[in-house]
Amino acid sequence: VRAINLCLLGFGNVGRAFARLLLDKSAELRERYAIETRITGVASRRLGWLAREAGFDPDKLLDGDFSAGTKCGFIREWLSRARANALLEISSLNAQTGEPAISHIRAALEHGAYAITANKGAVVHGYRALTELARAKGKRFLFEACVMGGTPVFSLFRETLPAANLLRLRGVLNSTTSRIFAEMEAGASFDAALKIAQDAGIAETDPSADIDGWDAAVKVHALATVLMDAQIKIDDIAREGIRGISAERVRAAAAAGKRIRLVARAERRDGRVVASVGPEEISPGDPLAGGPPAGSIIHFELNTLHDLIIASGRQGPDTTAYGLLADFLSIVHAPSLSS
Amino acid sequence: VRAINLCLLGFGNVGRAFARLLLDKSAELRERYAIETRITGVASRRLGWLAREAGFDPDKLLDGDFSAGTKCGFIREWLSRARANALLEISSLNAQTGEPAISHIRAALEHGAYAITANKGAVVHGYRALTELARAKGKRFLFEACVMGGTPVFSLFRETLPAANLLRLRGVLNSTTSRIFAEMEAGASFDAALKIAQDAGIAETDPSADIDGWDAAVKVHALATVLMDAQIKIDDIAREGIRGISAERVRAAAAAGKRIRLVARAERRDGRVVASVGPEEISPGDPLAGGPPAGSIIHFELNTLHDLIIASGRQGPDTTAYGLLADFLSIVHAPSLSS
């Protein structure tokens, strides 16, 4: 049984769900994967950099008791004191630059740890450089939890679709806007639907990341970059939000058996990848028509399989935490970790 | 660049599509995977066991010219003369016993070759023994092409969903019955719809494997055995076909916004797995409602991700051939092949 030291950067809903999942799975990890994980570092803006080489008691962490940790001055000291084997980067998103997540991930890789993130910003702004650095260090940089809340997308292509070229993808990636449309279909105005989503804790107080299409744009950028090797910037993505959609238009579509959803697209065209985000009418025969009311769905067109749909209805901090664990086990499972 | 000798057992539509795919992908296989494949054996009931150690010219095989091959007396001689590194078992299904596919796969593994099959019978009747034999020989036995025509299902769970337990699955796995239902929704009687499917080459002259639910039962058996470690026999699967469904019932469901489809289920219940196949009404909110008209869809419920839907619309010999190639590359990609 190999002991593996994990450092959690960010201890909000996802960090807590991850700690809980590790507890739930500890026997299985020992028996099936011959590993024993210890959380030897926890950090957040509020907590600072806390390390404990012998490992924190996860139950205490979940109770909000961080007193066992030693405060470190900066991330390299933290990784070093925690003897980190893997960094779980689950801090909040900076969509403009991906910082400071990218610098933190770089520090972890340079320290000799694996880096796993749920932070889309790090993928959008750092995918190539971080992947390259990980390779140079004999480590890995993985990010399954960034899109579709832990549902396998990146690993699906990496592990199960060899020698397949992705020609086009089209998906509903933002569940907040889906919820708003669903409320509008049920009769609410846009403002009322947004309020319902905010009261349910689904939409943010400042909802612009969702309803102006930024979240979907960031996600389709990550998908296009990783799966289609697209060389595009976020600003290259034509982006239309949903503020302009009237309740009448949503209800008229519903009456005709259709649904309006915020759809993200990426497609190879003349040797480059073109991506966009905007509201679209989805008719019953559309591959996206089966999309769950509150989840995500992506329709992929490939040169080998023609088409492939992947969807998931219930996503949350627990599924995102599973995405992190799946990345971690995919690394641990690979023979290279032993080196 | 490593040369790998492939032996094709069965050279019908899927075998030909596989040979064509190898031709299309040969540059990519050389450059990205550093392998060069040669077809050194081709066999079928009609052709007998044909071997050519230097490799057949795939174009000639596709033109029906097998004259370069040396006739062998039996499979072990064939594998040996062809110096087989991998067997592609793509003969026709024997759902009752899985033979002779199972014996052929066993011979390949004992010879020291990898075994990849599109033959559901070999999985249903031989999964545990063949997997065990492969492990003992340091080889692999894979079968992605058996269900959903090459869409990743087995590899999805094996490679991307570590430490996840599958609690329940429910899917439309037989596309022939879906086509028949679609024709009935459009107004045809059952007999007329069946005739249309037969004329289109979708349904067999003896359609009982599809319309009596055998095909779906075999597929759900394979899924339950591999993904849920079910210890069940085909006869344990409650099975109802679609002969008894009237056009009126299909049209009444369609008028109410529903569709009738042949649905396969498997579920853990009191420590064992219970599976069934039968026609079900699928309402608009059903996770299977987005199923493509002529493809397959499966809704999985897991203990870690809650739910996951995978679907594919266009399946045929070319996608099945890709499933075989994906298995092959998954083996080649793994470090163990070099041993």
Segment A67-92, tens digit of pLDDT: 999 999 999 999 999 999 999 999 98
- Residues 293-332 on B with a CB inside 8 Å of A are 293, 295, 297, 304-315, 318-319, 322, 325-326, 329-330
> Could you list the pLDDT tens digit for every one of the 339 residues in chain B?
899 999 999 999 999 999 999 999 999 999 999 999 999 999 999 999 999 999 999 999 999 999 999 999 999 999 999 999 999 999 988 888 999 999 999 999 999 999 999 999 999 999 999 999 999 999 999 999 999 999 999 999 999 999 999 999 999 999 999 999 999 999 999 999 999 999 998 888 899 999 999 999 999 999 999 999 999 999 999 999 999 899 999 999 999 989 999 999 999 999 899 999 999 999 988 999 887 777 899 999 999 999 999 999 888 999 999 999 999 999 987 644 333
Task: Report the candidate in A148, A131, A152 with the shortest Cα–Cα distance to residue A140.
Answer: A131
Q: Does position A337 have pLDDT exceeding 50, yes or no?
A: no
Q: What is each CA distance from B160 to A24, A316, A326, B163, in whole angstroms?
A: 19, 19, 7, 10
SS3 of B70-94: the string is EEECCHHHHHHHCCCCEEEECCCCC
Contact between B322 and B21 (Cβ < 8 Å): yes
User: Which amino acid does the sequence have at A250?
Assistant: V
Gap from A71 CA to chain B (nearest CA, Å): 33
CB-CB under 8 Å, B306 with A311 = no
Instruction: State whether residue B289 sits within 8 Å of chain A by CB.
Output: yes
CA atoms within 13 A on the CB side of A322: 23
Report H helices in chain A.
13-33, 58-62, 75-81, 101-111, 120-137, 154-160, 175-185, 190-199, 208-211, 214-228, 247-255, 317-333
Judged by DSSP in three states, B303 sits in: coil
A297 contact residues in B (CB cutoff 8 A)? 290, 309
Contact between B277 and B262 (Cβ < 8 Å): yes
Q: What is the DSSP string of A106-123?
A: HHHHHHT-EEEE--HHHH
A33 contact residues in B (CB cutoff 8 A)? 162-163
Contact between A194 and A203 (Cβ < 8 Å): yes
Q: Does position A338 have pLDDT exceeding 70, yes or no?
A: no
Mean pLDDT of chain A: 94
Q: Does position A294 have pLDDT exceeding 80, yes or no?
A: no
Contact between B143 and B157 (Cβ < 8 Å): no
Instruction: State whether residue A32 sits within 8 Å of chain B by CB.
Output: yes
Kindly identify which residue of chain B lies nearest to residue A327, measuring between CA atoms.
Answer: B160
Q: Name which of B301, B304, B314, B331 to mutate to probe chain A: the one with the most chain A Cβ atoms within 10 A of its Cβ.
A: B304
Judged by DSSP in three states, B293 sits in: coil
Q: Of how many residues is chain A composed?
A: 339
Please state whether beta strands B166-172 and B114-117 pair in parallel, antiparallel, or not at all (unpaired): unpaired
Q: What is the pLDDT of residue B334?
A: 63
pLDDT category of residue A308 using cuts at 50, 70 and 90: very high
CB-CB under 8 Å, A311 with B311 = yes
Whole-model pTM?
0.95
Contact between A242 and A279 (Cβ < 8 Å): yes
pLDDT category of residue A266 using cuts at 50, 70 and 90: very high
The predicted-structure confidence for B157-192, as pLDDT tens digits, reads as follows 999 999 999 999 999 999 999 999 999 999 999 999
| Bridge partners (DSSP) listed for residue A9 | A43, A89
CB-CB under 8 Å, A312 with B308 = yes
Quote the tokens at residue B297: 């869809």
Q: Is B138 left (phi over 0), alpha (psi -120 to 50) or beta?
A: left
Instruction: State whether residue A150 sits within 8 Å of chain B by CB.
Output: yes
Q: What is the pLDDT of residue A287?
A: 92
- Alpha-carbon span B227 to B215, nearest angstrom: 18
Strand order in the sheet with B238-239: A238-239, A272-282, A259-269, A166-172, A296-302, A306-312, B306-312, B296-302, B166-172, B259-269, B272-282, B238-239
Contact between A56 and A73 (Cβ < 8 Å): no
Q: Does position A319 have pLDDT exceeding 60, yes or no?
A: yes
CB-CB under 8 Å, B297 with A309 = yes
- Alpha-carbon span A98 to A107, nearest angstrom: 14
From B33, B156, B285, residue closest to A152, measured CB to CB: B156
CB-CB under 8 Å, A156 with B156 = yes
Q: What is the pLDDT of residue A314?
A: 87
Q: Which has more confidence, A293 or A61?
A: A61
Q: What is the pLDDT of residue B93?
A: 80
Q: Does position A336 have pLDDT exceeding 50, yes or no?
A: no
- Alpha-carbon span B107 to B138, nearest angstrom: 14
Contact between B173 and B295 (Cβ < 8 Å): no
Residue percentage of chain A with pLDDT more than 90: 89
* ipTM summary value: 0.94
Q: What is the pLDDT of residue A334?
A: 63
CB-CB under 8 Å, A308 with B309 = no
Q: What is the pLDDT of residue A293?
A: 76
Quote the tokens at residue A144: 């399954």
The predicted-structure confidence for A151-204, as pLDDT tens digits, reads as follows 999 999 999 999 999 999 999 999 999 999 999 999 999 999 999 999 998 888
Task: Report the candidate in A4, A3, A226 with the shortest Cα–Cα distance to residue A113.
Answer: A4
